[in-house]
Amino acid sequence: MSTPLEALAHFEIKGAINSVALFGGGHINDTYHVQTSEGDFLIQKVNTQVFRTPEVLEANLTGLFTERSEILVPHVKTKKGQWLLHLQNDVWKMQVFDKDVYAPALATQLDVVHEIGKGFGKFTALSKVYDVSNFEETIPNFHNLKWRLEELDQAIKNNPARRVAEVKRLIDKAKKFNWISEKMEDLVKSGLPPRLCHNDTKIDNILLTKGSNEFKFVIDLDTVGPGYVLYDFGDMMRTLLSPTKENELDESKVQLRVDYLEKIHQAFLNESEHMLSPLEKTSLIFGGLYMTYMIAIRFLADFINGDTYYKVSFPEENMIRARNQFRLLELMEDWSDSHQN
Ligand code: GN1
Ligand code: MG
Protein backbone atom coordinates (compact mmCIF):
# COMPACT_ATOMS: atom_id res chain seq x y z
CA MET A 1 0.00 0.00 0.00
CA SER A 2 1.26 3.47 -0.84
CA THR A 3 0.77 6.69 1.13
CA PRO A 4 -0.42 10.02 -0.31
CA LEU A 5 3.01 11.46 0.40
CA GLU A 6 4.71 8.75 -1.65
CA ALA A 7 2.23 9.28 -4.48
CA LEU A 8 2.72 13.06 -4.47
CA ALA A 9 6.37 12.66 -5.40
CA HIS A 10 5.28 11.31 -8.81
CA PHE A 11 3.02 14.20 -9.81
CA GLU A 12 3.97 17.31 -11.73
CA ILE A 13 3.94 19.77 -8.78
CA LYS A 14 6.75 22.05 -7.72
CA GLY A 15 6.21 23.57 -4.26
CA ALA A 16 7.25 22.15 -0.88
CA ILE A 17 4.52 20.07 0.77
CA ASN A 18 3.25 21.66 3.98
CA SER A 19 0.40 19.33 4.96
CA VAL A 20 -1.70 16.36 3.84
CA ALA A 21 -5.07 15.65 5.49
CA LEU A 22 -8.04 13.36 4.80
CA PHE A 23 -10.79 15.32 3.07
CA GLY A 24 -14.49 15.11 2.15
CA GLY A 25 -17.27 12.55 2.35
CA GLY A 26 -17.19 10.44 -0.85
CA HIS A 27 -18.54 6.92 -0.50
CA ILE A 28 -15.93 5.24 -2.66
CA ASN A 29 -12.46 6.81 -2.99
CA ASP A 30 -10.12 8.25 -0.31
CA THR A 31 -9.38 11.92 -0.86
CA TYR A 32 -6.64 14.05 0.76
CA HIS A 33 -6.17 17.80 0.84
CA VAL A 34 -2.59 18.80 0.13
CA GLN A 35 -1.15 22.21 0.97
CA THR A 36 2.07 23.22 -0.76
CA SER A 37 4.09 26.41 -0.96
CA GLU A 38 2.71 26.82 -4.51
CA GLY A 39 -0.97 26.20 -3.93
CA ASP A 40 -3.39 23.55 -2.78
CA PHE A 41 -4.37 20.23 -4.38
CA LEU A 42 -6.53 17.18 -3.81
CA ILE A 43 -4.97 13.78 -4.26
CA GLN A 44 -7.25 10.79 -4.45
CA LYS A 45 -6.67 7.08 -4.08
CA VAL A 46 -8.99 5.47 -6.61
CA ASN A 47 -10.94 2.50 -5.25
CA THR A 48 -9.87 -0.21 -7.68
CA GLN A 49 -12.44 -2.66 -6.33
CA VAL A 50 -14.99 -0.27 -7.83
CA PHE A 51 -13.00 1.12 -10.76
CA ARG A 52 -11.57 -2.17 -11.96
CA THR A 53 -10.31 -0.92 -15.32
CA PRO A 54 -8.21 2.18 -14.59
CA GLU A 55 -7.06 2.19 -18.23
CA VAL A 56 -10.62 3.13 -19.21
CA LEU A 57 -10.57 5.99 -16.71
CA GLU A 58 -7.19 7.13 -18.09
CA ALA A 59 -8.54 7.06 -21.65
CA ASN A 60 -11.72 8.95 -20.71
CA LEU A 61 -9.75 11.65 -18.86
CA THR A 62 -7.42 11.96 -21.85
CA GLY A 63 -10.44 12.34 -24.12
CA LEU A 64 -12.03 14.92 -21.84
CA PHE A 65 -8.93 17.06 -21.43
CA THR A 66 -8.10 17.15 -25.14
CA GLU A 67 -10.57 20.03 -25.22
CA ARG A 68 -9.88 23.00 -23.05
CA SER A 69 -12.98 23.40 -20.97
CA GLU A 70 -13.33 26.07 -18.35
CA ILE A 71 -15.96 24.12 -16.47
CA LEU A 72 -13.86 21.03 -15.70
CA VAL A 73 -11.74 21.28 -12.58
CA PRO A 74 -8.06 21.27 -13.71
CA HIS A 75 -6.24 17.98 -13.09
CA VAL A 76 -2.51 17.45 -12.57
CA LYS A 77 -0.53 14.96 -14.65
CA THR A 78 2.11 12.58 -13.39
CA LYS A 79 5.73 13.27 -14.26
CA LYS A 80 5.31 10.59 -16.94
CA GLY A 81 2.48 12.58 -18.52
CA GLN A 82 -0.48 10.46 -17.40
CA TRP A 83 -3.64 11.29 -15.47
CA LEU A 84 -3.35 8.23 -13.23
CA LEU A 85 -0.39 7.08 -11.17
CA HIS A 86 0.01 3.34 -10.65
CA LEU A 87 2.01 2.79 -7.48
CA GLN A 88 2.33 -0.47 -5.49
CA ASN A 89 -1.08 -1.81 -6.57
CA ASP A 90 -2.71 1.56 -5.89
CA VAL A 91 -4.02 4.08 -8.38
CA TRP A 92 -3.85 7.81 -7.62
CA LYS A 93 -5.08 10.93 -9.35
CA MET A 94 -4.72 14.58 -8.57
CA GLN A 95 -6.48 17.88 -9.14
CA VAL A 96 -6.11 21.53 -8.26
CA PHE A 97 -7.85 22.71 -5.07
CA ASP A 98 -9.11 26.26 -5.47
CA LYS A 99 -9.52 27.96 -2.06
CA ASP A 100 -12.04 30.43 -3.46
CA VAL A 101 -14.66 27.78 -4.14
CA TYR A 102 -16.71 25.30 -2.11
CA ALA A 103 -18.88 22.24 -2.66
CA PRO A 104 -22.43 22.72 -1.28
CA ALA A 105 -23.46 19.82 0.99
CA LEU A 106 -27.19 20.54 1.00
CA ALA A 107 -29.12 23.11 -0.99
CA THR A 108 -30.85 25.72 1.12
CA GLN A 109 -31.12 28.66 -1.27
CA LEU A 110 -32.71 28.98 -4.69
CA ASP A 111 -29.73 30.87 -6.14
CA VAL A 112 -27.46 27.93 -5.25
CA VAL A 113 -29.96 25.53 -6.83
CA HIS A 114 -29.89 27.64 -9.97
CA GLU A 115 -26.09 27.53 -10.18
CA ILE A 116 -26.04 23.74 -9.76
CA GLY A 117 -28.58 23.32 -12.57
CA LYS A 118 -26.53 25.70 -14.68
CA GLY A 119 -23.26 23.84 -14.03
CA PHE A 120 -24.57 20.42 -14.94
CA GLY A 121 -26.49 21.96 -17.87
CA LYS A 122 -23.17 23.28 -19.19
CA PHE A 123 -21.66 19.84 -18.75
CA THR A 124 -24.52 18.29 -20.76
CA ALA A 125 -23.97 20.87 -23.48
CA LEU A 126 -20.37 19.57 -23.80
CA SER A 127 -21.94 16.57 -25.56
CA LYS A 128 -21.82 18.76 -28.64
CA VAL A 129 -18.03 18.96 -28.42
CA TYR A 130 -17.24 15.30 -27.71
CA ASP A 131 -18.01 12.19 -29.69
CA VAL A 132 -19.62 9.90 -27.10
CA SER A 133 -18.46 6.79 -28.96
CA ASN A 134 -14.88 7.66 -27.92
CA PHE A 135 -15.80 7.12 -24.25
CA GLU A 136 -16.37 3.90 -22.35
CA GLU A 137 -18.11 3.21 -19.05
CA THR A 138 -15.55 3.14 -16.22
CA ILE A 139 -17.93 0.83 -14.30
CA PRO A 140 -19.76 -1.56 -16.62
CA ASN A 141 -23.58 -1.38 -16.38
CA PHE A 142 -23.25 1.50 -13.93
CA HIS A 143 -26.67 2.96 -14.67
CA ASN A 144 -28.28 -0.14 -16.09
CA LEU A 145 -31.34 -0.50 -13.88
CA LYS A 146 -32.27 -3.94 -15.17
CA TRP A 147 -28.84 -5.18 -14.15
CA ARG A 148 -29.10 -3.47 -10.76
CA LEU A 149 -32.44 -5.22 -10.18
CA GLU A 150 -30.82 -8.55 -11.00
CA GLU A 151 -28.08 -7.75 -8.49
CA LEU A 152 -30.75 -7.10 -5.86
CA ASP A 153 -32.49 -10.40 -6.67
CA GLN A 154 -29.18 -12.18 -6.33
CA ALA A 155 -28.51 -10.52 -2.97
CA ILE A 156 -31.96 -11.54 -1.70
CA LYS A 157 -31.45 -15.10 -2.90
CA ASN A 158 -28.01 -15.49 -1.33
CA ASN A 159 -28.82 -13.47 1.81
CA PRO A 160 -25.11 -13.46 2.77
CA ALA A 161 -25.44 -11.24 5.85
CA ARG A 162 -28.79 -12.70 6.98
CA ARG A 163 -30.43 -9.30 6.69
CA VAL A 164 -33.28 -10.00 4.25
CA ALA A 165 -35.97 -10.36 6.94
CA GLU A 166 -35.07 -6.93 8.30
CA VAL A 167 -35.78 -5.20 4.98
CA LYS A 168 -38.88 -7.06 3.83
CA ARG A 169 -40.87 -3.81 3.64
CA LEU A 170 -38.23 -2.19 1.40
CA ILE A 171 -38.00 -5.25 -0.85
CA ASP A 172 -41.78 -5.05 -1.36
CA LYS A 173 -41.47 -1.38 -2.27
CA ALA A 174 -38.70 -2.20 -4.74
CA LYS A 175 -41.02 -4.59 -6.61
CA LYS A 176 -43.75 -1.96 -6.85
CA PHE A 177 -41.53 0.29 -8.93
CA ASN A 178 -40.54 -2.23 -11.59
CA TRP A 179 -42.42 -0.19 -14.18
CA ILE A 180 -39.58 2.35 -14.11
CA SER A 181 -37.24 -0.17 -15.68
CA GLU A 182 -39.78 -1.01 -18.39
CA LYS A 183 -40.42 2.64 -19.16
CA MET A 184 -36.69 3.23 -19.56
CA GLU A 185 -36.44 0.38 -22.04
CA ASP A 186 -39.29 1.92 -24.03
CA LEU A 187 -37.55 5.29 -24.08
CA VAL A 188 -34.35 3.74 -25.41
CA LYS A 189 -36.32 1.87 -28.07
CA SER A 190 -38.02 5.15 -29.02
CA GLY A 191 -34.64 6.67 -29.87
CA LEU A 192 -33.20 8.32 -26.76
CA PRO A 193 -29.66 9.20 -27.93
CA PRO A 194 -26.52 8.24 -25.97
CA ARG A 195 -24.61 11.28 -24.74
CA LEU A 196 -21.50 12.07 -22.81
CA CYS A 197 -22.71 12.08 -19.20
CA HIS A 198 -21.17 12.90 -15.88
CA ASN A 199 -23.01 10.01 -14.24
CA ASP A 200 -22.64 11.32 -10.67
CA THR A 201 -24.37 14.71 -10.65
CA LYS A 202 -24.65 14.91 -6.89
CA ILE A 203 -25.02 18.42 -5.56
CA ASP A 204 -21.53 18.34 -4.02
CA ASN A 205 -19.92 17.50 -7.35
CA ILE A 206 -20.31 21.16 -8.29
CA LEU A 207 -17.97 23.85 -6.97
CA LEU A 208 -19.36 27.34 -6.37
CA THR A 209 -17.43 30.55 -5.78
CA LYS A 210 -17.45 31.53 -2.09
CA GLY A 211 -19.47 34.67 -1.43
CA SER A 212 -21.19 35.01 -4.81
CA ASN A 213 -22.26 31.31 -5.00
CA GLU A 214 -21.59 31.39 -8.72
CA PHE A 215 -20.94 28.12 -10.57
CA LYS A 216 -17.23 27.49 -11.16
CA PHE A 217 -16.35 23.82 -11.79
CA VAL A 218 -17.78 20.37 -12.25
CA ILE A 219 -15.74 17.83 -10.24
CA ASP A 220 -15.54 14.05 -9.74
CA LEU A 221 -14.97 12.96 -13.32
CA ASP A 222 -14.48 9.24 -12.51
CA THR A 223 -17.78 8.13 -13.95
CA VAL A 224 -17.85 10.41 -17.00
CA GLY A 225 -18.81 8.28 -19.98
CA PRO A 226 -21.73 7.28 -22.14
CA GLY A 227 -25.24 7.58 -20.75
CA TYR A 228 -28.53 9.38 -21.26
CA VAL A 229 -29.18 12.99 -20.34
CA LEU A 230 -31.96 11.94 -17.99
CA TYR A 231 -29.36 10.21 -15.79
CA ASP A 232 -27.61 13.49 -15.10
CA PHE A 233 -30.77 15.51 -14.67
CA GLY A 234 -32.24 12.74 -12.53
CA ASP A 235 -29.36 12.50 -10.08
CA MET A 236 -29.56 16.24 -9.58
CA MET A 237 -33.23 15.88 -8.70
CA ARG A 238 -32.39 13.05 -6.32
CA THR A 239 -29.79 15.02 -4.40
CA LEU A 240 -31.34 18.49 -4.51
CA LEU A 241 -35.05 18.18 -4.02
CA SER A 242 -35.12 16.94 -0.43
CA PRO A 243 -33.65 19.04 2.39
CA THR A 244 -32.24 15.85 3.95
CA LYS A 245 -28.92 14.04 3.84
CA GLU A 246 -28.89 10.55 2.36
CA ASN A 247 -28.59 9.04 5.86
CA GLU A 248 -31.25 11.19 7.60
CA LEU A 249 -32.66 9.18 10.52
CA ASP A 250 -36.11 10.79 10.47
CA GLU A 251 -37.88 9.59 7.32
CA SER A 252 -40.65 12.17 7.68
CA LYS A 253 -38.11 14.92 6.95
CA VAL A 254 -37.68 13.68 3.37
CA GLN A 255 -39.53 16.15 1.14
CA LEU A 256 -39.92 17.18 -2.46
CA ARG A 257 -39.28 20.89 -2.92
CA VAL A 258 -41.18 21.71 -6.08
CA ASP A 259 -39.80 25.24 -6.32
CA TYR A 260 -36.30 23.72 -6.39
CA LEU A 261 -37.37 21.37 -9.17
CA GLU A 262 -38.64 24.26 -11.26
CA LYS A 263 -35.40 26.12 -10.67
CA ILE A 264 -33.02 23.32 -11.72
CA HIS A 265 -35.21 22.48 -14.68
CA GLN A 266 -35.10 26.03 -15.96
CA ALA A 267 -31.38 26.54 -15.23
CA PHE A 268 -30.45 23.21 -16.81
CA LEU A 269 -32.49 23.88 -19.96
CA ASN A 270 -31.10 27.41 -20.34
CA GLU A 271 -27.70 25.82 -20.95
CA SER A 272 -28.62 22.66 -22.80
CA GLU A 273 -31.98 23.02 -24.51
CA HIS A 274 -30.43 23.88 -27.88
CA MET A 275 -28.89 20.42 -28.20
CA LEU A 276 -31.58 18.22 -26.65
CA SER A 277 -34.08 16.19 -28.67
CA PRO A 278 -37.80 16.52 -27.85
CA LEU A 279 -37.70 13.03 -26.27
CA GLU A 280 -34.75 14.01 -24.11
CA LYS A 281 -36.57 17.09 -22.90
CA THR A 282 -39.80 15.31 -22.05
CA SER A 283 -37.98 12.52 -20.20
CA LEU A 284 -35.88 14.70 -17.88
CA ILE A 285 -38.27 14.52 -14.93
CA PHE A 286 -38.61 10.77 -15.34
CA GLY A 287 -34.82 10.75 -14.81
CA GLY A 288 -35.44 11.74 -11.17
CA LEU A 289 -37.55 8.63 -10.62
CA TYR A 290 -35.12 6.44 -12.54
CA MET A 291 -32.03 7.55 -10.60
CA THR A 292 -33.73 7.62 -7.20
CA TYR A 293 -35.06 4.11 -7.76
CA MET A 294 -31.68 2.86 -8.90
CA ILE A 295 -29.77 4.29 -5.94
CA ALA A 296 -32.44 2.91 -3.57
CA ILE A 297 -31.88 -0.53 -5.12
CA ARG A 298 -28.10 -0.17 -4.85
CA PHE A 299 -28.17 0.87 -1.16
CA LEU A 300 -30.65 -1.92 -0.39
CA ALA A 301 -28.60 -4.59 -2.18
CA ASP A 302 -25.47 -3.39 -0.41
CA PHE A 303 -27.19 -3.58 2.98
CA ILE A 304 -28.32 -7.13 2.22
CA ASN A 305 -24.81 -8.04 1.08
CA GLY A 306 -23.33 -6.78 4.36
CA ASP A 307 -22.04 -3.33 3.26
CA THR A 308 -19.40 -4.45 0.82
CA TYR A 309 -19.58 -1.43 -1.53
CA TYR A 310 -20.54 1.85 0.14
CA LYS A 311 -18.64 3.13 3.13
CA VAL A 312 -20.84 3.07 6.27
CA SER A 313 -20.47 4.90 9.57
CA PHE A 314 -23.09 2.86 11.49
CA PRO A 315 -24.55 -0.64 10.89
CA GLU A 316 -27.98 0.36 9.54
CA GLU A 317 -26.73 3.19 7.36
CA ASN A 318 -27.33 1.53 3.98
CA MET A 319 -30.83 0.48 5.06
CA ILE A 320 -31.62 4.05 6.16
CA ARG A 321 -30.22 5.40 2.89
CA ALA A 322 -32.38 2.97 0.89
CA ARG A 323 -35.46 3.79 2.97
CA ASN A 324 -35.01 7.54 2.38
CA GLN A 325 -34.54 7.06 -1.36
CA PHE A 326 -37.76 5.02 -1.55
CA ARG A 327 -39.60 7.75 0.35
CA LEU A 328 -38.30 10.37 -2.05
CA LEU A 329 -39.27 8.16 -4.97
CA GLU A 330 -42.83 7.89 -3.67
CA LEU A 331 -43.02 11.67 -3.39
CA MET A 332 -41.68 12.06 -6.93
CA GLU A 333 -44.20 9.54 -8.25
CA ASP A 334 -47.12 11.31 -6.55
CA TRP A 335 -45.96 14.62 -7.89
CA SER A 336 -45.41 13.46 -11.45
CA ASP A 337 -48.75 11.57 -11.51
CA SER A 338 -50.54 14.77 -10.65
CA HIS A 339 -48.55 17.04 -12.99
CA GLN A 340 -47.70 15.19 -16.13
CA ASN A 341 -50.88 13.51 -17.29
C1 GN1 B 1 -21.20 7.18 -4.84
O2 GN1 B 1 -18.43 8.27 -3.99
P3 GN1 B 1 -19.47 9.21 -4.41
O4 GN1 B 1 -20.12 9.82 -3.22
O5 GN1 B 1 -18.97 10.19 -5.44
C6 GN1 B 1 -21.58 6.39 -6.09
C7 GN1 B 1 -22.71 7.09 -6.82
C8 GN1 B 1 -23.90 7.25 -5.90
C9 GN1 B 1 -23.46 7.98 -4.63
C10 GN1 B 1 -24.58 8.02 -3.63
C11 GN1 B 1 -18.77 5.09 -8.22
O12 GN1 B 1 -20.64 8.40 -5.21
O13 GN1 B 1 -23.12 6.32 -7.93
O14 GN1 B 1 -24.89 8.03 -6.51
O15 GN1 B 1 -22.34 7.35 -4.02
N16 GN1 B 1 -20.42 6.28 -6.97
C17 GN1 B 1 -20.00 5.08 -7.40
O18 GN1 B 1 -24.31 8.98 -2.68
O19 GN1 B 1 -20.59 4.05 -7.14
MG1 MG C 1 -18.45 9.95 -7.53
Q: Is 157 helix (H, G, I), strand (E, B) or coil?
A: helix
**Packing angle of the helix pair 258-272, 229-240 (nearest 10 deg):** 150
Q: Which of 200, 203, 219, 247 to probe ligand 1 with, by most ligand atoms within 8 A of CB?
A: 200
Ligand 1 site, residue 295, Cβ cutoff 6 A:
yes
Q: Read off the pLDDT of residues 7-36 as tens digits, 9 standing for 90 and up.
A: 999 999 999 999 999 998 788 999 999 999
Q: What is the pLDDT of residue 56?
A: 98
Residue type, 72: L
Q: Which residues share a beta bridge with 92? A: 45, 85
Residue 284 parent element (H or E): helix 284-304
**Packing angle of the helix pair 317-340, 229-240 (nearest 10 deg):** 110
**Packing angle of the helix pair 168-176, 284-304 (nearest 10 deg):** 150
Q: What is the pLDDT of residue 339?
A: 82
The CA-based dihedral angle spanning residues 310, 196, 325, 285, taken in that order and rounded to the nearest 10 degrees = 180
Q: What is the pLDDT of residue 68?
A: 84
Using alpha carbons only, give the angle 202, 227, 142 rounded to the nearest 5 degrees.
70
Q: Enter the pTM of the model.
A: 0.95
The ranges of the chain with pLDDT < 50 are: 341
Q: What is the pLDDT of residue 340?
A: 64
Q: What is the pLDDT of residue 67?
A: 87
From the CA of 153, how far away is ligand 2's center (Å)?
Answer: 25
DSSP helix, strand, coil percent of the chain (3-state; round to 5)? 50, 15, 35
**Atom number, ligand 1, closest to the C-alpha of residue 291:** 14
